[in-house]
Amino acid sequence: MAIQLQQVSYTYADRSLWRQTALHDMNLDLPQGSMVGIAGATGSGKSTLLQLFNGILKPTQGTVSVLDVTIRAGEKPPKLLPLRRRVGLVFQFPEQQMFEETVEKDLIFGPLNFGMSPEQAKEAARKAMTAMGLDHGLLQRNPFHLSGGQMRKAAIASVLAMEPEILVLDEPTATLDPVSRAELIGLLERLCREEGRTIIIVTHRMDELLPYADRWVLLQEGRLAFQGSGAELAADPAVLERCGLTVPQSLRYWRAVAERFGLTGEKPRLTAESLAERIAALREPGGSAAEMRDRYE
Amino acid sequence: MNDRLLLGRSIETGSWVHKLDARSKILAMILYLVIILLAHSWWAMAVLAVFSVSVLSSTKVPLKYYLKAAKPLRYLMLFIFVVQALTVKEGEALFTIGSFSLHEGGLRLAAFSVIRMFLLITFTALLTFTTRPAKLNQGLEGVLTPFKKLGLSPERITLMISIALRFIPTILDESQIIMKAQASRGADLKELPLKEKMRMLVSLLVPVISSAFRRAQDLVYSMEARGFRMDAPRTKYHRPAWGAADSVFILMFVIMGVAVALL
Amino acid sequence: MKTIHSDSAAGAAPDVITLERVSFGYDPEHPILHNLSLSIPRGQWVSIVGPNGCGKSTLVKLLNALLPKSDGEITVYGHRLEEETIQDIRRCIGMVFQNPDNQFIGATVEEDIVFGLEGLCLPYAEMEERLQAISAKLGIGHLLEKHPGELSGGQKQRVAIASILAMKPGIVIFDEASSMLDEGSRNELMEILQGMRAEGNYTILMITHDADEILASDRVLALHGGGLAADVTPAELFLDEELLRKCHLREPYPWRLARELQKQGIPAEVPASEKELIDRLWPSNFSK
């Protein structure tokens, strides 16, 4: 397991008049190398949950295990700096954390803090730029002169340059245009599939992540409402509505086709392309549509 | 996220003090400051303390909230006490160790200073606890209006204050997020030596400041888009109304001032 | 003070906004907008689309002189935009911006809504009436005393809209107003927009990347490279793959599905719902 939570609760301002519990009794298992989507309405505790993953927040109750590090509530935590390198946490609007005069300096900031040599750091920066689909020529540019989409990718690269095993992102596609959003999700999927990194993404737009996520975690008012594979979620979309989320159109169309032809055991087709292919197969003579018609007639 | 609750946030209990005109409360605070400076005897201090506690109680805000307001300054108060007690060499010496000596007068002055400071902080918290920021700001505008002749623009000052009140919590929240983001990139201020800390500070200040400028630009756009122009005529939605209770409130402070001056 | 009336006499909807050869830019060699001409009739809901940096945001900011045009002529409700008419024109145009936090001017919801009304120099009774009416309409009556810090992004955006509609503008501009909102709040914003259209009192200009928002509008203005790349209906936009790519947009899912089905050799119209798709693909006797 990359990340495991056992009976974890988190309360803000625990000993004050304004204590506020953001997470209740969470049990969570996120396997290594998987692509995980986290969804939930505003205020459901998503951002709090993410900050437990690299020890920025420590549980008020329960146990958080990340890779081989265990953080128990009430105990003095182990040294967290090494963990923070291994779990890259990308906050919302990460471009707002950039501060150096060149992209390269911003990218090597993290690696240097974690003790890489300048040469190693620059090499890591170049690799991160490639992984984010950015031209190395941009390294010497001022980050504030990049376009919105480029700046976002560069900021993610600045975390990726730490070479984390787990990359956690809070709404990485927010405010980007649809093409840049799809491109970014594609890049993150490659990081997961080709480099074996665990990618965890909080999203308000489930439709864009649905075809790629292996696992989904749904939160509702600080409690776990669902955790399971994409196929399990596709089989029970009602849980989304219980969490105050709308069922993405791609899922609704797949369900309609699947229910019609009894395909519920099959891998869900959640892109327009794959669903169209499946429909074409169903319509072919000898396809299941024909089979069904035979049965009914 | 909760620290900001004490900053300029009122605690509604619906007491008579809450219902007063903000201008009378601001004037009362000024009078209170004068009264504190007039109090020079133990008797005066005692009367003033009783008066303060009864006024604070009548706000129906729990007294511990007022104590909390003074808490951040407890070390400053202790410091002032020690310095005054050790440096003022008036009255009879209580005891002497080497070059250090503690005098009765010094002790008294030190105690007075700390009591004054404590009373002032707890009592002025009444203003923010019982008055919503918007009302407070309008009250301030009212109090400053006579100074218009001196070239002061109450509208500008209160606009500045209200925008500051509005955005300081937002910017503090944001600074906290940026701090966490940089900590996630290995720049944890708590875990670093001093020399490194200075460098890390840049990684916090640049994003916070550039974001504040961005917000300022957005705010200007949205104010202008809503037709705002500096010094253009405006009507007022909240019109403060000075009532009998306000006059009584002020009178209480005047009487208190006279009493304290005589004691 | 001369007032421009938002509600001119009915008839064939007259143009409320016209641009003639409008340019904007700090560097004449690389203008952000160049020689743009267009007109928008009253009551239309117009989507303004295009890749980042194409000048969408600049365009709408020129309309009420938040930015100064460098050349050309802008007319709003028949009045040329000049130094003397700026204030009057601003009264006719309301703007909702992207970041819900940065357009919240007051310390409370109530204060934010009356901020614009105070600037209109309305008497107290009128302000009170408008405040109550708009907060009831947008369902924020229970929030009037709240601080922005106590509100969600969606609620703040709702307050921004209330603040603007309370000023009774004829034209309302949304500058990526939904892009920082969550799914639920985006849907709520859509309902507000549909309600505004149903009322028929508003000309709506909306800068957006959102396929559903574009689909709901009457007309799409696509900007590219500082000029107008296309002036089309939403349906025309979504059928034009080249234009979509140019504007960094994607079509709504049902449109994409219809296109993919066509690629598979299955003729398919864009379905209105999943049920319609099934019924159309398998118009079979066995549907129960």
The residues near A228 (Cβ < 8 Å, ≥ 6 apart) are A215, A216
Do residue B90 and residue B143 come from a single domain? yes
Test B186 with A12 for CB contact under 8 angstroms: no
Nearest CA in chain A to B187: A113
Q: How confident is the model at residue B12 (pLDDT cuts 50, 70, 90)?
A: confident
Q: How confident is the model at residue C3 (pLDDT cuts 50, 70, 90)?
A: very low
Q: What percent of chain C is predicted at pLDDT more than 70?
A: 94
Determine which of B27-31, B37-41, C158-162 has the lowest per-residue pLDDT on average.
Answer: B37-41
Q: What percent of chain A is predicted at pLDDT more than 70?
A: 94
* Mutation choice for C interface testing from A38, A96, A179, A245 by most C CBs within 10 A: A179
Q: Which of B1, B180, B186 sits opposite A114 (nearest CB)?
A: B186
Residue whose tokens read 């963990």? A83
Give mean pLDDT, residues C148-168: 94
Chain A residues in contact with B185 (beta carbon < 8 A): 84, 97, 109-110, 113, 158-159, 162
B17 lies in some domain: no
Interface of A with C (CB under 8 A): 41-43, 147-149, 174-175, 177-180, 182, 204-207, 244-246, 248-250, 252-253, 255-257, 260, 272-273, 275-277, 279-280, 283, 289, 292-293, 296-297
Do residue B126 and residue B214 come from a single domain? no
Chain B residues in contact with A54 (beta carbon < 8 A): 184
Nearest CA in chain C to B238: C124
Q: Which of A178, A253, A279 sits opposite C209 (nearest CB)?
A: A178
The string of DSSP codes covering B215-227 is HHHHHHHHHHHTT
Position A163 scores a pLDDT of: 95
Q: What sign results for the dihedral spanned by CA atoms A273, A276, A281, A287?
A: positive
CA distance C161 to chain B (A): 11
Distance CA A255, CA A252 (A): 5
The residues near B199 (Cβ < 8 Å, ≥ 6 apart) are none
Which chains have at least 3 CB atom pairs separated by less than 8 Å from chain A?
A: B, C
Domain containing residue B50: 22-147+240-262
Do residue B213 and residue B180 come from a single domain? yes
Do residue B74 and residue B182 come from a single domain? no
Q: How confident is the model at residue A83 (pLDDT cuts 50, 70, 90)?
A: very high
Is A260's pLDDT higher than 80?
yes
Do residue B134 and residue B84 come from a single domain? yes
Do residue B67 and residue B89 come from a single domain? yes
Do residue B67 and residue B135 come from a single domain? yes
- Sequence length of chain C is 288
Q: Which two tokens stand for residue B36?
A: 């504190």
Nearest CA in chain C to A92: C180
The residues near B227 (Cβ < 8 Å, ≥ 6 apart) are C87, C90, C91, C116, C119, C120, C167
Which chains have at least 3 CB atom pairs separated by less than 8 Å from chain C?
A: A, B
Q: Which of A182, A256, A283 sits opposite C274 (nearest CB)?
A: A256
Q: List for chain B the helix, strand, coil content (%; round to 5).
A: 75, 5, 20
Q: How confident is the model at residue A17 (pLDDT cuts 50, 70, 90)?
A: low
* Mutation choice for A interface testing from C182, C214, C248 by most A CBs within 10 A: C182
Do residue B137 and residue B247 come from a single domain? yes
Is C44's pLDDT higher than 70?
yes
Is B50's pLDDT higher than 70?
yes
Test B2 with A18 for CB contact under 8 angstroms: yes
Is C241's pLDDT higher than 50?
yes
Nearest CA in chain C to B1: C149
Position A16 scores a pLDDT of: 61
Using CB atoms within 10 Å of the CB of residue C221, give its burial: 0 to 12 exposed, 13 to 18 middle, 19+ buried: buried
Is C255's pLDDT higher than 90?
yes
Test C103 with B222 for CB contact under 8 angstroms: yes
Chain B residues in contact with C116 (beta carbon < 8 A): 226-228
Do residue B49 and residue B130 come from a single domain? yes
Is C12's pLDDT higher than 90?
no
- A75-114 in b/e form (b: 16+ CB < 10 A) is eeeeebbebbbbbbbbbbbbbbbbbbeebbbbbbbbbbbb
Q: How confident is the model at residue C265 (pLDDT cuts 50, 70, 90)?
A: very high
Determine which of A271-275, B102-106, C182-186 has the lowest per-residue pLDDT on average.
Answer: B102-106
ipTM score of complex: 0.90
Which chains have at least 3 CB atom pairs separated by less than 8 Å from chain B?
A: A, C
Do residue B127 and residue B198 come from a single domain? no
Nearest to C47 by CA among C195, C190, C158: C190
pLDDT in tens, A90-106: 999 999 999 999 999 99
Chain B residues in contact with A56 (beta carbon < 8 A): 180, 183-184
Is A295's pLDDT higher than 70?
no
* Mutation choice for B interface testing from A57, A96, A160 by most B CBs within 10 A: A96
The residues near B109 (Cβ < 8 Å, ≥ 6 apart) are B84, B88, B90
Determine which of A13-17, A86-90, A186-190 has the lowest per-residue pLDDT on average.
Answer: A13-17
How many domains, in total, are found in chain B? 2
B15 lies in some domain: no
Chain B residues in contact with A158 (beta carbon < 8 A): 185
Do residue B47 and residue B126 come from a single domain? yes
Give mean pLDDT, residues A197-224: 95
Test C52 with A149 for CB contact under 8 angstroms: yes
Distance CA C59, CA C224 (A): 12
Position B191 scores a pLDDT of: 64
Contact by Cβ (8 Å): C71, C23: yes
* Mutation choice for A interface testing from C282, C284, C286 by most A CBs within 10 A: C282
Test A42 with C184 for CB contact under 8 angstroms: yes
Q: What percent of chain A is predicted at pLDDT more than 90?
A: 80
B233 lies in some domain: no
Q: Which amino acid is at C102?
A: N
B214 lies in some domain: yes
Determine which of A102-106, A207-211, A293-297 has the lowest per-residue pLDDT on average.
Answer: A293-297
Position A85 scores a pLDDT of: 94
Q: Count of A–B CB contacts within 8 Å?
A: 63
Give yes or no for B5 touching A (CB within 8 A): yes
Chain B residues in contact with C66 (beta carbon < 8 A): 221, 224-225
Give yes or no for A81 touching B (CB within 8 A): yes
Give yes or no for B207 touching A (CB within 8 A): yes
Using CB atoms within 10 Å of the CB of residue A284, give its burial: 0 to 12 exposed, 13 to 18 middle, 19+ buried: exposed
Chain B residues in contact with C104 (beta carbon < 8 A): 166
Give mean pLDDT, residues C149-173: 95
Phi-psi region of C53 (alpha: psi -120 to 50; beta: other; left: phi over 0): left
The residues near B241 (Cβ < 8 Å, ≥ 6 apart) are B21
Q: Is the pTM of this model over 0.80?
A: yes
Is B199's pLDDT higher than 80?
no
B82 lies in some domain: yes
B16 lies in some domain: no
Do residue B77 and residue B48 come from a single domain? yes
B235 lies in some domain: no
Position A15 scores a pLDDT of: 62
Interface of C with B (CB under 8 A): 61, 64, 66, 87, 90-91, 93-95, 97, 99, 101-108, 110-111, 114-124, 127-128, 131, 145, 147-149, 160, 163-164, 167
B189 or A79, which is more confident: A79
B8 lies in some domain: no
Is B259's pLDDT higher than 80?
yes
CA distance B108 to chain A (A): 36
Test C275 with A256 for CB contact under 8 angstroms: yes
Test C259 with A149 for CB contact under 8 angstroms: no
Distance CA C157, CA C165 (A): 12
Q: How confident is the model at residue B1 (pLDDT cuts 50, 70, 90)?
A: very low
Nearest CA in chain A to C209: A177
Contact by Cβ (8 Å): A149, A180: yes
Give mean pLDDT, residues C154-175: 96
Position B9 scores a pLDDT of: 67
* Mutation choice for C interface testing from B141, B236, B237 by most C CBs within 10 A: B237
Q: Which of B1, B180, B186 sits opposite A85 (nearest CB)?
A: B186
Give yes or no for C224 touching A (CB within 8 A): no
Position A263 scores a pLDDT of: 87
Position B102 scores a pLDDT of: 83
Helix (H) or strand (E) run with residue A10 in it: strand A3-12
Q: How confident is the model at residue B3 (pLDDT cuts 50, 70, 90)?
A: very low
